[in-house]
């Protein structure tokens, strides 16, 4: 099964999240059965990151969006921990600072876009401004409704500069979210991750679903596609996302840069140096 096709939101496609099973696991029944493929995809991603960095002509932007406890941090931890940090950046977009709020909503985002040879991961993103801002009525509809076109233009500009864009919605059920909240309450190491606001936000679940559906419908494009990832099972979430990323990086046709030196001359210099070293050791 090809997840990069199965979970893709085609441009203009009508999205109904209630028709997508967040507990879907395909042909796999357990983490154990999926683990070899997950490891294979991660190894491929790491190799391709090296080529991306050395190629130095393209970049990759990965956007992670979800309701609370869907696993954005887990995706980053499990899939990217072994990558070279020199070519990887992770940024979480929280409530705008006064300086950020004094500019247009994309100002702070553009500064975090990946440079040539880099991978950037957005843990939440510019989509907060058509999701949270909409649901909490922080701005009028006359404002947030115009942001879809601005986002599309922004992402098209990044794509035109050599950035591939992948956007993932981690889709969980309300029941699974509640269970994960309980785990945070029961685990002293994760108590800090829970707050009263998490339960207050659950009251807005229908409004968030409506906002996500419209955002996905209006901003999934050929150059910046959205993928809806069933995320009730963390291992399946990792499997699907790793496959899509590996597939996309393969499709970027990454290559090592051409050598601009005389390798035969350098090999001769090496042999001379090796011989001198041998003589010196004697």
Please enumerate in sequence order all residues whose Cβ is within 8 A of that of 72, keeping only pairs 6 or more positions apart, or say none: 64, 65, 66, 123, 124, 170
- The DSSP bridge pattern shows strands 119-123 and 226-230 to be unpaired
Q: Look at residue 109 in the predicted model and tell me its pLDDT.
A: 98
Q: How open is the CA angle 202-206-212, to the nearest 5 degrees?
A: 105
Q: Within 10 Å of residue 106's Cβ, how many Cβ atoms?
A: 17
d(CA 63, CA 210): 19
Per-residue pLDDT of the chain (282 residues; tens, 9 = 90+): 699 999 999 999 999 999 999 999 999 999 999 999 999 999 999 999 999 999 999 999 999 999 999 999 999 999 999 999 999 999 999 999 999 999 999 999 999 999 999 999 999 999 999 999 999 999 999 999 999 999 999 999 999 999 999 999 999 999 999 999 999 999 999 999 899 999 999 999 999 999 999 999 999 999 999 999 999 999 999 999 999 999 999 999 998 877 778 788 888 888 888 888 888 776
Report the alpha-carbon distance of residue 254 to residue 237 in Å, rounded.
26
| DSSP secondary structure code for residue 10 in this structure | -
Q: What angle do CA 249, 155, 66 make, to 5 degrees?
A: 75
> pTM of the predicted model, to two decimals?
0.93
pLDDT at 273: 86
CATH of the domain at 241: 3.40.50.300
DSSP state of 139: S
DSSP 187: -
Q: 129: burial class by Cβ within 10 Å (0-12, 13-18, 19+)?
A: buried
If one counts the domains in the chain, the total is 1
pLDDT at 274: 86
Query: What's residue 266's pLDDT?
Result: 83
Q: What angle do CA 243, 82, 42 make, to 5 degrees?
A: 15
CA 103/CA 120 separation, integer angstroms: 22
pLDDT at 277: 84
Per-residue pLDDT at 1: 67
Alpha-carbon distances, residue 211 vs 17, 149, 199 (angstroms): 11, 15, 19
Nearest Cα residue to 145 out of 97, 217, 66, 65: 217
Q: Which domain holds residue 258?
A: 3-281
CA-to-CA separations, 97 to 63, 102, 107, 183, 185, in angstroms, rounded: 21, 9, 12, 31, 29
């Amino acid at each position: 099964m090809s997840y990069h096709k199965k979970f893709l939101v085609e441009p203009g496609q009508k999205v109904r999240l209630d028709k997508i099973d967040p507990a879907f696991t395909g042909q796999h029944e357990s983490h154990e059965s999926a683990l070899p493929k997950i490891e294979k995809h991660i190894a491929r991603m790491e190799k391709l990151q090296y080529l991306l960095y050395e190629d130095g002509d393209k970049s990759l932007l990965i956007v992670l969006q979800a309701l609370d406890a869907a696993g954005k941090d887990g995706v980053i931890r499990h899939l990217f921990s072994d990558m070279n940090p020199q070519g990887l950046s992770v940024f979480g977009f929280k409530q705008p600072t006064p300086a950020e709020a004094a500019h247009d909503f994309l100002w702070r985002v553009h500064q975090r876009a990946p440079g040539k040879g880099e991978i950037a991961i957005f843990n939440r993103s510019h989509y907060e401004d058509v999701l949270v801002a909409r649901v909490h009525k922080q701005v009028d509809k006359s404002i947030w409704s115009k942001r879809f076109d601005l986002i599309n233009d922004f992402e098209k500009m990044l794509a035109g500069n050599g950035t591939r864009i992948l956007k993932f919605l981690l889709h969980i059920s309300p029941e699974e979210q509640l269970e994960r909240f309980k785990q945070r309450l029961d685990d002293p190491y994760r108590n800090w991750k829970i707050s009263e606001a998490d339960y207050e936000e659950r009251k807005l679940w229908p409004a968030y679903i409506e906002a996500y559906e419209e955002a996905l419908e209006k901003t999934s494009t050929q150059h910046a596609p959205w993928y809806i990832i069933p995320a009730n099972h963390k291992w399946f979430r990792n499997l699907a996302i790793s496959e899509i990323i590996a597939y996309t990086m393969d499709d970027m046709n990454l290559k090592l840069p051409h050598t601009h030196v005389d390798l035969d001359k350098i090999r001769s210099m090496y042999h001379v140096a090796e011989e001198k070293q041998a003589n010196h050791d004697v």
